[in-house]
A = this chain, B = another copy of it.
Amino acid sequence: MSTEPEVPANRAPTLTDVAKLAGVSVATASKAINGRDEVKAATRARVLKAAELLSFAPNALARALLGGRTGTVGLLTSDLEGRFSIPILMGAEDAFGAGEVSVFLCDARGDAIREAYHVRALLSRRVDGLIVVGSSTDPRPPLAGTIPVPVVYVYAPSADPGDISITVDNVGGGRLAVDHLLACGRREIAHVTGEPGFAAARDRAEGAAAALADAGLSMLGGKPYYGSWDETWGRAAAHIVVEQHPEVDAIFCGSDQIARGVLETLRDLGRDVPHAISVIGFDNWDAIAAHSRPRLTSIDMNLERLGAVAGRRLFEAIAGAEPPSSEQYPGRVVMRDSTAPAG
């Protein structure tokens, strides 16, 4: 007849194949491979060599079927395009990737139906937990239905205060920006920002106002210049501010794109940035901030850390730890060349 190969070519080698090749039972092979210490050294060596020979990789599905835990989590984003999701996602992936956890990525595209569909699929794959990444800092509705595994919301908090949400401290971020300008000796500070419909805009403005109040000052014009998040508004707003308040010596912008527009207009007007007028942005978006003239000082919200924290909290919750409560994280100032003491 034909020669009988130890292992059929067309399928992944199983523990049975390894055991056969090593001349032991599957039970023993299992113990050897998993480093249990009730195995004679010589036996273990034989098993490991056999596994090596067959490039055996234990079937994680079979394992999961037993253990209860699968070592997988779902990462649910509502908007991959938005650049805020990406660093968060990287942070989370990193927090897990270091361990034994694999991450399912699902983009709901901002659609509740798609989201529900994805959740269903993830649950049927028996993920150990879920991370929900929002695309704005506004609260979002909690996941529909009863979710039998821990869930951590990140960036956008869940509207249900009972849920675990890891968010950015935008009020603190606004404070940070203004405190930096104050440290540069600025007193006549305007705030140009995005749409007031966004919590991010309102929160940053609130923080800015509070920092100014603490210094006995108020915002130039008495309130923020609300508009949109882009450069076009930044350019227009700079014209308005300079005209209405020629004494302006600093502008805190709600985004780097706005700041970029402000910078361009100030350049067109021949204003000296950073000395006559200092400008600080928000987001620390490298592509925008690192190549403007001058290069833009900005607030970085440490989104990658945020993702990593979310990953760790989920991990803890899965491990059955005390359900962690919600947390807010502050940002930091990244100095470039658009802010400096008056000179």
Q: How many copies does the complex hold?
A: 2
- Residues in chain B near residue A8, CB distance under 8 A: none
The interface bits of chain A over 32-66 (1 if a CB of B lies within 8 angstroms of the residue's CB, else 0) are: 00000000000000000000000101111110110
- Residues in chain B near residue A232, CB distance under 8 A: 291
Who on chain B is nearest to A230 by CB? Answer: B291
- A198 near B: Cβ within 8 Å? no
Number of residues on chain A facing chain B (CB within 8 A): 52
* Shortest Cβ gap from A222 to chain B (Å): 29
Asked if residues A107 and B93 are in contact (CB atoms below 8 Å), the reply is: yes
- A3 near B: Cβ within 8 Å? no
- A257 near B: Cβ within 8 Å? yes
Taken together as a complex, chains A and B put the C-alpha atoms of A56 and B107 apart, in Å, by 24
- A318 near B: Cβ within 8 Å? no
- Residues in chain B near residue A72, CB distance under 8 A: 104, 125
* Shortest Cβ gap from A22 to chain B (Å): 19
Considering only residues 63-85 of chain A, those with a C-beta below 8 Å from chain B are 64-65, 70, 72, 75, 80-81, 83
Q: Considering residues A61, A83, A145, A148, which has the most beta carbons from chain B within 10 angstroms of its beta carbon?
A: A61
- Residues in chain B near residue A75, CB distance under 8 A: 105
Considering only residues 207-238 of chain A, those with a C-beta below 8 Å from chain B are 230-232
Asked if residues A118 and B105 are in contact (CB atoms below 8 Å), the reply is: no
- Residues in chain B near residue A148, CB distance under 8 A: 12
- A2 near B: Cβ within 8 Å? no
- A97 near B: Cβ within 8 Å? yes
- Residues in chain B near residue A107, CB distance under 8 A: 90, 93-94, 97
- Residues in chain B near residue A288, CB distance under 8 A: 287
* Shortest Cβ gap from A256 to chain B (Å): 10
Asked if residues B104 and A61 are in contact (CB atoms below 8 Å), the reply is: no
- Residues in chain B near residue A105, CB distance under 8 A: 75, 89, 93, 103-105
